Amino acid sequence: MPPLVLVAPAAFKGTLGPRQVAEALAAGVRRAAPTATVLQCPVADGGNGLLDVVLPTGSLRERLEVTGPIGDKVSAELGWIDGETAIIESASACGLALVEPEDRHPMRTTTRGVGELIWTAADRGARTIVVGLGGTATVDGGTGAARGLGWTFENAAGEPLPEGGGSLTDLASFGPGWGLASRVVALADVATPLVGPDGAAPVFGPQKGARAEEIPQLAAGLANLANLWAQSGHPELASRPMGGAAGGLGAGLAYFAKAELVAGADWVLERAGFDAALAKADLVITAEGIFDRTSLVGKAPGEVVRRAQAAKKRVAVVAGRAEGLIGVHTVAGDADGRMLDLRALTQMAEQVAREALRL
């Protein structure tokens, strides 16, 4: 009986969208096994590629001008699942890709544009707003997004607080926003809490451009913010899983927008009908640019691997670079982790299908 192969890749950040990757992998599988049935189920977890995965072809996708991570205007995307459900990627408003390497400075970068997108969606009639949290250039605890929703922040002298994570140590009080009637669902790609040794600042600060000597100040600022939340009746936000996603934007949206924090991979896979397809599959192939141990803690490709293994299915990973994986059939690019093009992905998928299906 011809095999059924389930192809479920994520985006390759900055180069290829999840649907492009899925098509390239499917082409490779068909070269190896021309009679195979190939199901494409591109995945995301709240980061790059979320709108491409969730929105059907022809869905309304708007470009809106909002405040970017360093304060200039950027063109961000607002998508519509239906007339009452909007969806955004935080990275389109404050993503790391929007900031040149020399300007990556989470002491000053802001999530304000995310709040502006949320407010615009609500103003246009969205009753539910889904916010993907991955890939931001920020560690501001969501205070920037709150500003986009009308909240104000002051120091002990009653002066407005500068934007960014670096000023949060001076935060003494905040004033309420405009009042958001919409339900907000925040999709996290990590389980990281806001504060602590494994909190947002030490875990994500370096990759967002923070220098070693700035990490303690960012961590202290988030702890100060969490303390103010505790004083107003929400002590749980300091240690809540997923609160540290996007440099604390997860916890910030939970407080300032009453958001529900949800594991992004679970949310996307459920919408995509992944488990039903998995039940029929003989082989599952997932992919992402860099697949390592962190991929197995909240990332969509890691969740694909986990579910496939739990279902006792053959599973394989195609990646630009793979590190520290045991018990997972992997085909990776060069050791330098260079980005793969579509042709290379097709060749690697052909190889992994031949090996996994013993052709």
Report DSSP letters for 185-242, one per residue.
EEEES----SSSTTSHHHHHTGGGT--GGGHHHHHHHHHHHHHHHHHTT-GGGGT-TT
- Give the pLDDT band of residue 339 (cuts 50, 70, 90): low
State pLDDT tens for residues 290-307: 887 778 778 899 999 999
Positive or negative: CA dihedral 232, 105, 192, 52: positive
Residue 145: per-residue pLDDT: 98
d(CA 53, CA 275): 16
Residue 7 DSSP label:
E
d(CA 221, CA 357): 52
Residue 337: per-residue pLDDT: 46
d(CA 19, CA 7): 10
Q: How many CA atoms lie within 13 A of 176 on its CB side?
A: 5
Tokens 């303690």 belong to which residue? 216
> 202 near 215, Cβ under 8 Å?
yes
Please name the residues in contact with 32: beta carbons below 8 A apart, sequence gap of 6 or more. Answer: 349, 350, 351, 353, 354, 357, 359
What value, to the nearest 5°, has the Cα angle with vertex 200 and ends 196 and 204?
130
Pair of tokens at residue 85: 């459900």
d(CA 194, CA 225): 10
Residue 330: per-residue pLDDT: 78
Residue 338: per-residue pLDDT: 53
> 325 near 332, Cβ under 8 Å?
no
Pair of tokens at residue 71: 């304060």
> 118 near 179, Cβ under 8 Å?
no
Shortest CA distance to 356 belongs to which of 282, 278, 281, 275?
Answer: 282
> 188 near 264, Cβ under 8 Å?
yes
Q: Is 276 exposed, middle or buried (0-12, 13-18, 19+ CB in 10 A)?
A: exposed
Mean pLDDT of 9-20: 87
State pLDDT tens for residues 236-262: 999 999 999 999 999 999 999 999 999
State pLDDT tens for residues 29-86: 999 999 999 999 999 998 888 999 999 888 999 999 999 999 999 999 999 999 999 9
Given a cut of 60, whether residue 326 has pLDDT beyond it is: yes
State pLDDT tens for residues 156-184: 999 999 999 999 999 999 999 999 999 99
> Torsion angle of alpha carbons 319, 323, 325, 330, nearest 10°?
30
Which H or E element spans position 355?
helix 342-356
Residue 168: per-residue pLDDT: 98
Residue 325: per-residue pLDDT: 67
